[in-house]
Structure 1
Amino acid sequence: MRAEGAAFASDGGVSEGARAAPDPRLRPYLGDYVGYRLRGFPPGVHIGMPSTALTVIVTIDEPIELPVSCHPAQSGGRWDALASGLTVRPCLIGHHGYQHGVQLALTPLGARVLFGVPTADLGSWVVDLSDVLGPRAAELRERMAATAHWSRRFSILDRILLELMCEATIEPELRRAWQLLTGSAGRARVGAVAEEIGWSRRYLGARFAAEFGITPKDAARLARFESSHRLLRTVATEAASATAAEPRAGTTLAEVAAATGYYDQAHMAREWRELAGLPPSRWLACEVFPFVQDPVPDLLEG
């Protein structure tokens, strides 16, 4: 396994980490392992963005604190390791200028294969990782904390996740619907997707929610939002002197909106307010160190 390391400084803080692809047998079920160590930043909060992937975070040192959870009925809390399903709401992640751990992004098929449950079982709740992995969650955290080498930590993840794999699948029609709705960055129409897989729109909606915990329309919204978030983060990172209105020369918020399938900048801003709790211009101005939320593998690869 080759772990790619990186470090950069921002606002007096230093962000260090590494990224590596999991074992080939795991790649249909999750994206790259992302290790992070963020230190020296002013205390504050950053936003955990909604995504088309389930989130797993395993901390190395102090627990992760969520003062505001994704689920309106769930109060905040602290976790050594957590998992969450799909949601159309953001959460707030508190920090004291320091965070250290590993983040994973699971496909819905990964929830079936590694957790043994459909994504809908997690809903938009944040749960302790031990609720889905049992005692292996504590073992995973302890073994990763015992070494300072990212490549060894990622190898530990490989070994434990491979041992957890079980035989599971998702109905072909649902897998195809998910791929069409999210693979098109939200451009596919729900009615057209239902027609392609041979189901009525109402039947698709019911079966889709039972498996994924969100509606087909929300899956498309998340995919489009995720695309805009990724582009904004990329162009902002490439230009340290960016302004909130123009992440880099030649790239405006209006251009990002057009490139990611929104009607216009105002449409993108409305969606961001609903899904992230603030418009993209404010996120660019306020976010100090966003978690990496890159795309996960195509669900059909499994």
Structure 2
Amino acid sequence: MSSTYAVAPPAAVLRSFISHYVGFCAHDVMPGIDIGLPSRHAHLIISLGSPIDVLQMPNTIQRAGRLRALVSGLHDAPAAVRRGGSQEIVHVFLLPAGLRAILHASPAELTSHVVELSDLWGRAAESLIQRLSAAATWELRFAVLDNAFVRALVPIQRHAAVAWAWQQLAARHGRMSIGGLARGIGWTRQHLTHRFRAELGVGPKTAARIFRFERACRLIRDRRLRLVDVAAACGYHDQPHMTREWIALAGCTPRTWIATELPFLQDYELSGGDHGE
């Protein structure tokens, strides 16, 4: 397989809503299945070639499908995408607020769901795909994205306490009491969960699980620690607890993930690092 990719930040005005852009091009890709892992990001993935063949949605009630430009919200279960042949992809890593401000979608309605960009943007989605296809370099394609997103940007209301709670969970990789988090704001746990889910799409407990899982993925990738040490570093009760969480979030055990998924994983796919806002 031969592949190239490029990573870039969005325009400054968009950085409260988008983490980063990725362009990926590969040829002679070995047939297989890629697992879409839960993360702190929502996603816009646009194929400039064949449609994206989603074999399993994070919400198993939703049917599999082939999509040209897919949008997915936060999720706490894996998705499965067919790989193989040639691929040319533009991938936008959205912060949850970007769903509302740029794509004009409800994070709660997109939780564990995948939709076509055209369902949200109508004809403007096809126009974006055409302009991306016509651009000759990744730099020009990222400029096309900036232009489209700046024009689409609308003001949104964001509750400061919800933003603070999200930042606290992210900074501690999910290792904190949700009750303590609520008390720090002056809310009940139930009220925090309600406001958090309405604004971001998932509750704080689910967000904490995702942040902890992200840290475990990165520790395994970057440090090659023993699994028992990863479990301890990430705040799992023990290694069996971490294994149960991995089966729920990644669809397999950590050892299976290391053997089958880690060799194909690109650094930009792991949140919580250089691009893990």
The normalised TM-score by structure 1 is 0.85
Task: Kindly tell me the number of residue pairs found equivalent between the two proteins.
Answer: 272
Q: 1 or 2, which has the higher helix percentage? A: 2
Indicate how the Cα distance of structure 1 residues 47 and 297 shifts in structure 2: closer, same or farther if over 3 A, else same: closer
1:184 aligns with 2:167: no
Matched with 2:240 is 266
Matched with 1:107 is 95
Return the offset for 1:50. Answer: 0.7
Q: Does the Cα contact within 8 Å between 2:175 and 2:234 map onto a contact in 1?
A: no
- Partner letter of residue 271 of structure 2? D
Unaligned runs of 5+ in 1: 1-12, 236-246
Cα distance in 2 for residues equivalent to 1:148 and 1:91: 31
**Equivalent position to 2:54, from 53, 66, 76:** 66
Q: Give deviations 1:106-127, integer Å, cap 9, x for gaps.
A: 1112122112233112121100
- Partner letter of residue 264 of structure 2? F
Cα distance in 2 for residues equivalent to 1:154 and 1:231: 30
1:283 aligns with 2:257: yes
Cα distance in 1 for residues equivalent to 2:14 and 2:96: 13
Matched with 1:161 is 149
Q: Give deviations 1:248-298, integer Å, cap 9, x for gaps.
A: xxx322233333332333222221011111012101111252362434565
Q: Give deviations 1:163-198, integer Å, cap 9, x for gaps.
A: 111111211121122222233211121001110111
1:95 aligns with 2:83: yes
Identity across matched positions, percent: 38
Q: Does the Cα contact within 8 Å between 1:29 and 1:297 map onto a contact in 2?
A: no
Return the offset for 1:209. Answer: 2.0
Unaligned runs of 5+ in 2: none
Q: Does the Cα contact within 8 Å between 1:47 and 1:290 map onto a contact in 2?
A: no
Cα distance in 1 for residues equivalent to 2:152 and 2:258: 39
1:146 aligns with 2:147: no
Tell me the SS of whatever aligns to 2:24.
strand
Tell me the SS of whatever aligns to 2:237.
coil
- Partner letter of residue 88 of structure 1? D
Tell me the SS of whatever aligns to 1:141.
helix
Q: Does the Cα contact within 8 Å between 1:105 and 1:293 map onto a contact in 2?
A: no
Cα distance in 2 for residues equivalent to 1:297 and 1:36: 19
Q: Which runs of 4+ in 1 moved over 3 A?
A: 295-298
Matched with 1:7 is none
Cα distance in 2 for residues equivalent to 1:159 and 1:207: 32
1:23 aligns with 2:11: yes
Say which is worse superposed, 134-143 or 48-57, in terms of deviation.
134-143
- Partner letter of residue 233 of structure 2? A
Cα distance in 2 for residues equivalent to 1:297 and 1:132: 26
- Partner letter of residue 258 of structure 2? L
